[in-house]
Amino acid sequence: MKVALGRLGWAPPVFWAATPQEFWAAFDDWVSVNCIQKDAGALSGDEVERLEDMKRRFPDRAEAPMPNRAT
């Protein structure tokens, strides 16, 4: 419903009147028009290597503790 009302711009009555087949057809068209890859697959070896390099160069830092705020 969130996709139909938000991304597809359907009004609630349109969503509730649509069949599942109509919804998925509209969603597939929306995906195609917006150049979104469905099921892009696994990362290639080069992509994994680049990510590992980025992880080494930019390691996660521990989050600073939140200050204790009195209410």
Q: What token pair was written down for 42?
A: 């696994």
Please report whether residue 26 resides in a domain: yes
Please report whether residue 23 resides in a domain: yes
Q: What token pair was written down for 38?
A: 């469905």
Please report whether residue 42 resides in a domain: no
The predicted pLDDT at position 22 comes to: 95
Please report whether residue 19 resides in a domain: yes
Q: What token pair was written down for 61?
A: 């830092």
Q: What is the DSSP letter of 42?
A: S
**Residue 26: domain span:** 1-35
Please report whether residue 40 resides in a domain: no
Q: What token pair was written down for 45?
A: 């070896």
Q: Locate tokens 């009004």: which residue?
A: 11
Tens of pLDDT along the chain (71 residues) come to 899 999 899 999 999 999 999 999 999 998 888 877 766 677 788 888 998 998 998 888 766 666 666 65
pTM of the model: 0.50
Cα dihedral 27, 1, 39, 41, rounded to 10, equals 150
Domain count, the chain: 1
